[in-house]
Every structure is written in structure tokens, then in C-alpha cells.
Structure 1
């Protein structure tokens, strides 16, 4: 991580930015760069992250994960799309603009962290210290994630939040023989599954208070209604027969919270069999949250539900991001939509939220600034998977989008 931060620092110091600083945190370094043209001019802060997910088995990659390879019109490497290739578009856009004869009327700042994939602790630590470097930001611009499946350029006004947590149950001092004790002895796996089942009925979440505080506007719903989707093609791509909801795909994905079991472990899990009654069981869960839901408040409602159903179950918080929403009438939207349409030669898709969770929410909560998410990566980028890649045309169009936006943002 330190070597990656060193390399990025060197690249920024050799770019068109006037000032580059490195901030050490309790986790990984943050890199900050800026080019100030006029203290009274509007200021855009671009955000990105240089950390990546582990590549997994080398056998699953056609070419080595950390040796960028240009193949079939795409750049293959871990981090090509998530997120190094995307935030570097801003650096190249600034370099291109700086070679022009006229100075553009926008101050440009870039903040790149090294802990997004592990909770952004360093970024949060930095933001909570009231950093003067970005206090004057009029907009935080995030190029992250894949664009819409139609490959039309995409503008997203926010993201769902997330709370991740763990349920643990212990019913005896040790595993027990299922012949000697099966029936009378409690089974930790069965009983934890019963607790989890009590939270659901079909697609409905039965936790009291889980949905309180949700704020979805009519304008948000109108955007969702206009998002193009071929649900049958999507099912085929995902290899599923039916969706687990009666709602439309984007209604359920973007405007409603979730309660997801992401992992279960208990008892004997090796080859063969072992006739035991498990005495311990663990479940890992996460809940995606929509605007105005507070992660800790939601977890409190879940904990209360679990306590009522089975007070032996321990609930532990793992991590969280709050949801984030910028009003769709933000002044930055108009020049950005124009830049997207010009660079990609297609009408942009507007989405009220990203289904996933981004630390960009902390910029809005700590700095009270508008945040817009503009994914430059191809829909099939494969981030977090083997053979992650960023298409060349997406990379070039991303550079052009950033440059065009900077040229017109001052006019707003």
C-alpha cells in the first residue's frame, strides 16, 4: 500500500497540479492535489481510491492481475475500473486542459484514499478533522462504479448506505453426538436459522421500525420510472428464473432497504460427515439503506427484534456507511449532463441512487456539499472479480467528460 501511495504521489507531482500533499492516517495515506486558478472561482473536488480487492487465484486471470495488459480494446488489471483507471481520468483531463491557451475558471482538487475497500477509516478520520484543503468545495465528483447496462452515460445523485453485522449463538459447551443427545439437546444452527427466518416473510422485512425515517421523493420515483431495463435479459445474464420481489427491478434495487444473509457457518464443514449437534452458529448479514435511514438506528431495531425472539443471540456491528442523496436540482447537474451527452454521444441515464455504498456519503455529512457519482467504467468491468477491465473508449470518454464539465461548471 505504501509503494502504491508513493507511485501515485510521484505521478501527481509530475502532472498539471500545482500542489501535492500526503496525509498519513491511522490506516493508509491519503493523497491530495490541487490547482487553484482564482480563490473566488468555484471549486470541484474529485474523489477516488487506490486500494483494490485481492485478485484471488492467479489461475483465474488470463494475464497477471498486477501487470496491466491491453487486450481487445480493454485494459485488464486489478483496479483498472475500481478505481485507479477512473480517478486518473481527472488527472489526464487537467493535463490536457492545462496545455490550452486559456485558463479555465474552476479550482480543481483531487483526494485519493487507500482504504475504501475496507471501510474508509482513514478518509473519515481526515474529514472529521475539518480539513482546510477541501473546505471550499462546491461539489464532490466521484467517478466510480459501472455505467448503466445500456452503456449510456450515467449520472447518479446518491447511494444506498449499508450496515454490516454478525449474529452469534452458543447453545452448549461443545458439539454433541447426535445419536446420544439428538432431540433433547438444542441445535445452534437450527435455532439461529429460526431467528433469521423471523425477520422475513417473502420479500417483506418484519423487523419493527426497520423502515422508519425513509425519505423518497416524487422526483426520485420519476427518475426510477425512466431508467431503461430489460428484466428478462437481466434474469438471463444473472442465471435466475425469477426476481425475489413483485416490485419493478429498479424500484426494489434503489428505493427500498434490504436485509441480506451473506454467510452462515456452523457445525462440521469438511469432507464426509460427522454426526454432531452444533453448539455454535454464526451468520453474517448486511442491510442496504435508503435516504434518511441511520445505520446505527437500523441496527438497534434489528438488535431489539433479535432480543425478543432469542435473547441468547449476540448481535455485533461490523461496519457501516450512511446513505447519501444530493437533490436532483443541484446546479452541477446541468453542465454535467451536457458534458456526458457530448462526450458519449448518447442521452444520459439519471438515477437517484447507486444500489451499492460509497464513502462519498461522508463528504455530504461532514462538509455539507453536493456529491455526484459519475461512473466511467463499462457495465461488465468485473470489479472484485478475475479479469477486471476498463474499456479504452470508456477511459477516453471519461477524460473528455471531465474536461468538458470543468470548462462549463464555472458558468453555473
Structure 2
């Protein structure tokens, strides 16, 4: 029987031998548009995902929903297929991903066509390469390599790849509400999405950093922040008015909107003062210990972003990972053309999002905001647009050590551990299924820290793509025997 070292080398050799084919398969999927907000290319993309997973040795099917289909794929050990072992007696990992992408935006903002993958300076540039096609395909290619190396362990591997993550995950919600029978036996839900955590130098005694000095590190995350997106619309008259003839007694919608936004913050503009906004927030002592262990590279972050100062009194990562936020994403109202127009605007709008910590309910937060504004600014209308609840797995979960060991094997260093991802994922939705309510959900990003997802020139380095394949293969092997 081969030793662990021999099996590890066999898998590594198989990945080396097949890497060009894996890149070709990734490029084929990247060339296929899959924009869920508009529907562009979605049916073709779903079929291509299913075909690619089948080519990697999975039993694959498309699960129809009212929105877009989910691609479900599974590969079980040979002992299970031959009836020698019961499926319930081997650990089951479910890899989650999504094949839909954000709209590419303005064509001129890209250095190369968004749906024509281009390699430059060791990076693949294409819409969706990091978010999330390059990341979820890493799991499929890992399984293919394990099988090719005759090193597939006593682990059941399942993939669930949805087509609506970028537009609300309606199809995933429908699937989960129906009980998710294909994945209800999961022992671990594994999400490779988002960018790796970046670490920069702390600098000299003054903490100075230099722009571009941060470097992505292997990352293990125990949850994600939630999100609430909403819009405020203000109307103060039935038409725009002359600011001289009416200004003063007649309120400008732009002024009133600014007042409403200011009313939700303390005098320093930082603290959120909406009553009930923080209700339920639950950041544990163990979470705070993880945050305290993150190197303070705020000076390097400031240099990278050309930021003069950060808000708040806590450290950078305390503010980012343990406190909820409210951000004005955009404002509109009044005259925006050249020169002056002395107008008293009748309408104004703002788009906002709130990033929420574990324990907060996005719907309850919206109700608190709506109540706050209705009492003070009856001319405002608040409209909830989208939500994802926050999600948290306890940091002492026994599922974490094998994943951490796999990351260390591939990267040669222990991962940076974060209590939550700064961004938002639909991972918490899995907890709505009774059988999955207590299953650990771990987020392990494979994307570069500066991948530019949702932006022009989204990219993923060839190195991170390859390491993603190796990491998924190592995770499956580490899970052999359970945890």
C-alpha cells in the first residue's frame, strides 16, 4: 500500500500532467457569458458546467428552479459504489460555488475583452475568473487528479454550483426550502469564494507602509458578514422649483435626504445611532482573539489605497470584522450638469448597504431603519432590495484542523484565520435546512487578495488557480477517516 507521501506525490504529479487541460476547461467556461442579472448566457453556462463536471468524473445533474438551474455533482469512493461501504459511514464534504457573474460593465474599462480570457504577467483576466469560476472548478479538477493518481480516499465529494449568487440566490433558496435532499448528509460545507487575506509589512517604528506591498496569504474563515441593501427616496414637491422664489419655506429634497442620512449617525459621523440596529449582534471572545492575532498592517493598507485616515477608534480589523456598518453607496438628486442651476430639487435618492455581524437579522435591521426614518422624515420612502444573513461557525469546530493542515501543506505556512469574511455570501442559507443547521461551514478563498471581482479587469493568478486545485485535493485527503 502506498504511503501518504507517495500518494501526495502521485496527486501532485497528476495535477502537473493535467494542468494545461484544466486551464483550457476554465478558459472555455470563462468565454461563456453567465450574467444572472440579465440572463445572458445562463442556460448555455449551466449545460457547460454540467458537462465539465461530468468530464471530471462526477455523476452530474442539473436541478431546475424557477430562476436558474443548480449544477449538482457527486463522486463517492469505490467501496461505496461497489456496495462494500455504506455512504453514511464515510465523511461527506459539499463544495459550494456559483457559475453566474456580475455584468462586465463598460467595455472600454477593460484592458482585454471581459469574456475572452487573457493571460498577462502570470494572471488570467476575465469576468468571473475569481468570482467564482476559477475557484469552484478547482474542486472538480482536484477530484479528477485524485482519481487519476489512484488516490481517491474514503470521502464522498459533492459539488453544488448555483446560478444566481450575484442576483439574490433565488434558485438556491428554492432548492433549500425543498429540503436539499442531495446534500442533507453533509459533514462539512466548504466555500471557496472571495479574496485571500492580505498581509503587509508593519513598517518601521512609525508603522509606515508602501503602496502595493501587501501579499495574499492562505486564509481560513469561519463565517461571513451579512448584508442589507436598501434605497431611500425623498419627495418634497411635485416639481423642481426656483431656489430664490421658493427656497426657505419649501424644503429641498436633497437637503432633507442629507438630514435623514445624518440622523442615523452620531455627532462624529461614525457611530450608527438607529435604535435596534445592533440588536442580536454576537461577537464572541474567541472571535476577538482571532482578530487580535491578525497582524496590524493598516499602514500598508492606507498606502495601497491612498487613504489619509481610517474611521473609528478601534484597530482596522476590529472595525472591519466585529462591527456592523452602514454605507451610502450612491446619491442622486438635483442638477448635475455644467455650471450652475439655482434649482430647489423635488426628489432625491440614496442607495445604501449595511454589513452585519453574526446574530443580526437583516430584516429586523431594515425594520429598525424604516421605523427611525418614518418617525422623523415622513416624506422618505425606504425600499428593501436584497439581503443575506450573516453566518458563523464556532472557531473550535473539529472540521477546521484538517482544512488548516491542507492549506499549510500547499502553501508551506499556517493560514491566517478570520472569524468572518468582510463580504457577504449565501452560506447562512444552508442553515435553514434542518439537517444542515449545525454542519460547519468554512470559507477558504482561493482568489488573489486584489482580484478585482465585480470590477473591470477581474483576474486570478495562474499560481492561485493551481494552488486552489492542490488545496482542494489536500482537503479531501485530510478528511479521510472523518474529523
TM-score by length of 2: 0.83
Find the counterpart in structure 2 of residue 230 from structure 1. 297
* CA distance, structure 2, for counterparts of residue 29 and residue 300 of structure 1: 32
Is residue 2:79 matched to residue 1:12? Answer: no
SS of structure 1 residue aligned to 2:114: coil
Unmatched segments (≥5 aa) in structure 1 = none
Cα-to-partner distance string for 1:176-219 (whole Å, 9 max, x where unaligned)? 11222122211111011111101112211111111121111110
Is residue 2:386 matched to residue 1:319? Answer: yes
* Alignment map for 1:12-411 (pairs within 5 Å): 12-17=53-58, 19-37=59-77, 38=80, 39-40=87-88, 41-150=90-199, 151-201=216-266, 202=268, 203-366=270-433, 367-368=436-437, 369-411=439-481
Cα-to-partner distance string for 1:272-303 (whole Å, 9 max, x where unaligned)? 43321111111111111101101111111111
SS of structure 2 residue aligned to 1:263: strand
Deviation at 1:127, TM superposition (A): 0.8
Deviation at 1:102, TM superposition (A): 4.4
**Conserved? CA contact 2:176–2:432, under 8 Å:** no
Structure 2 CA distance for partners of 1:200 and 1:390, relative to 1, 3 Å: same
* CA distance, structure 2, for counterparts of residue 370 and residue 406 of structure 1: 15
* CA distance, structure 1, for counterparts of residue 253 and residue 473 of structure 2: 58
Cα-to-partner distance string for 1:365-384 (whole Å, 9 max, x where unaligned)? 33312110000111111111
Q: Which structure has the higher relative contact order (CA within 8 Å, separation 6+)?
A: 1
**Conserved? CA contact 2:232–2:349, under 8 Å:** yes
Cα-to-partner distance string for 1:86-133 (whole Å, 9 max, x where unaligned)? 011000000001123344111111011111111111111111110211
* CA distance, structure 1, for counterparts of residue 166 and residue 457 of structure 2: 18
Unmatched segments (≥5 aa) in structure 2 = 1-41, 81-86, 200-215
Deviation at 1:343, TM superposition (A): 0.3
Between 66-75 and 41-50, report the one with greater CA deviation: 66-75
**Conserved? CA contact 1:45–1:109, under 8 Å:** yes
* CA distance, structure 1, for counterparts of residue 375 and residue 247 of structure 2: 26
* CA distance, structure 1, for counterparts of residue 106 and residue 380 of structure 2: 36
**Conserved? CA contact 1:52–1:117, under 8 Å:** yes
**Conserved? CA contact 1:364–1:371, under 8 Å:** no
Between 176-185 and 247-256, report the one with greater CA deviation: 176-185
* CA distance, structure 2, for counterparts of residue 191 and residue 103 of structure 1: 63
* CA distance, structure 1, for counterparts of residue 52 and residue 475 of structure 2: 23
Cα-to-partner distance string for 1:310-352 (whole Å, 9 max, x where unaligned)? 1222111111000000011111101000000010111210000
Structure 2 CA distance for partners of 1:292 and 1:315, relative to 1, 3 Å: same
SS of structure 2 residue aligned to 1:10: helix
Find the counterpart in structure 1 of residue 28 from structure 2. none
SS of structure 2 residue aligned to 1:54: coil
* CA distance, structure 2, for counterparts of residue 158 and residue 335 of structure 1: 17
**Conserved? CA contact 1:364–1:370, under 8 Å:** no
Deviation at 1:72, TM superposition (A): 1.6
Between 57-66 and 76-85, report the one with greater CA deviation: 57-66
Cα-to-partner distance string for 1:350-396 (whole Å, 9 max, x where unaligned)? 00000110011111333312110000111111111222111111111
Quote the RMSD (CA, aligned, Å). Answer: 1.3
